[in-house]
Amino acid sequence: MQSSVSQPLLKAALWDMDGTIVDTEPYWIEAEHALVAAHGGQWSHEKAMQLVGQSLVFSAGLLQEAGVRLERREIIDTLTQHVIRQVRESVPWRPGARELLEDLHTAGIRCVLVTMSEAPLAREIVASLPRPYFDFLVTGDTVTQGKPHPEAYLTAVSLLQEQDPDLGLHHCVALEDSEPGVAAAVASGVPTVAIPHIVPLPHDPRRAMWDTLEGRTVADLEELVALRHEFPDATFGQAPAAQEPVHG
């Protein structure tokens, strides 16, 4: 038992971006409101919440239903360019995200960005970080099926395995804030931490729940991965009272 515990079980962290590393959801919502209004429609907070964590193709479809008379590709490009302009003015980092990225970098733990945003925005955010923390970027325009489908996370693991064939799902941990993102990570089989932000998450014992990344370290992630490694069928039991989102 001692020899298995001493093995470096945590090899990679798979990071969602919007809502997990950066608080860009208000930028997306602002862009949605402006686009719908430009086409004579109205966009509600409730409708905006339906898009949090979803693929941009899915989001574009709902915006078309709200009256936006553009092709989905045009909608995606318009929204993305708006958010990029906002990010260039100010990057709204989520609490503890950059610190945990630095801790992982120091420990030699590989990181992959797994986001439904497309590559131009993802590259903008990554370029704002002090170091090249991410080995790969898996973006919404590089997968066929967006979250909540697990394809993006399985793609991330596959890319890591090309350089480390011994790496498995149980050597990774996923960090997510939204219901579609958490569902995708859990469905992939990667141990998952939910850090809810804009939208409350339903209770789900298949993943861990943290209020924030602030103060979290590699040791916290290693503990979760070690637990899943030792007890593959274990669940993370949170009391219902712990399901309140934390707004940054």
Residue-range domains of the chain with CATH: 2-23+93-232 (3.40.50.1000), 25-89 (1.10.150)
| Whole-number pLDDT of residue 4 | 44
Cα 210 to Cα 6: distance, rounded to the nearest angstrom: 25
- Which residue carries 């325009």 as its tokens? 141
* Tens place of pLDDT per residue across the chain (248 aa): 343 445 569 999 999 999 999 999 899 999 999 999 999 988 888 889 888 878 889 999 999 999 999 999 999 999 999 999 999 999 999 999 999 999 999 999 999 999 999 999 999 999 999 999 999 999 999 999 999 999 999 999 999 999 999 999 999 999 999 999 999 999 999 999 999 988 888 888 899 999 999 999 999 999 999 888 777 776 765 433 333 333 33
The one-letter amino acid code at 24 reads T
Which residues, in sequence order, are CB contacts of 44 under 8 Å at separation 6+? none
| Whole-number pLDDT of residue 247 | 32
| Whole-number pLDDT of residue 248 | 33
| Whole-number pLDDT of residue 42 | 86
| Whole-number pLDDT of residue 50 | 86
